[in-house]
């Protein structure tokens, strides 16, 4: 996939702006801002490489939890039906 002229122009402008900064200018920037910039660049790289963390909605988590709890209830009911103990000993002894 090739870049169009506008993309190349933006890249060249960005490169020129970055080259215009000297190390003293960067050192004057607060550490927090520098760290945030690095994190943003890393995040952008991950997005471009499709290595981002997928967003998971809270509702999806709740739904999955409910499904697991229902499955546990079914298993416990089957265990009781078979006369098995459904209590869990977490004492380790």
- Whether 62 is in a domain gets the answer yes
| pLDDT, tens only, 4-41 | 666 566 666 666 666 666 666 777 888 888 888 888 88
- pLDDT given at position 92: 61
The better pLDDT of the pair 84, 19 is held by 84
Q: Which residue segment(s) compose the domain that 78 sits in? A: 55-83
Do 33 and 10 lie in a common domain? yes
The DSSP code for 54 is P
- pLDDT given at position 6: 60
How far the first Cα of the chain sits from its last, in Å, is: 63
Q: Quote the number of domains for the chain.
A: 2
Q: Classify residue 9 as exposed, middle or buried by CB count within 10 Å of its CB (0-12, 13-18, 19+).
A: exposed
Do 36 and 60 lie in a common domain? no
Do 9 and 43 lie in a common domain? yes
| pLDDT, tens only, 33-78 | 888 888 888 888 887 877 766 667 788 889 999 999 999 999 989 9
Which pair of structure tokens corresponds to residue 69? 């709890």
Do 9 and 41 lie in a common domain? yes
């Amino acid at each position: 996939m090739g870049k169009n002229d506008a993309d190349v122009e933006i890249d060249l402008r960005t490169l020129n702006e970055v080259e215009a900064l000297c190390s003293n200018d960067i050192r004057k920037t607060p550490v927090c801002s520098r760290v945030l910039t690095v994190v943003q660049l890393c995040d952008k790289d991950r997005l471009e490489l499709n290595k981002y963390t997928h967003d998971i909605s809270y509702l999806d988590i709740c739904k999955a939890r409910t499904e697991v709890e229902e499955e546990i209830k079914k298993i416990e009911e089957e265990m009781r039906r078979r006369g098995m103990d459904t209590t869990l000993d977490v004492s380790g002894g």
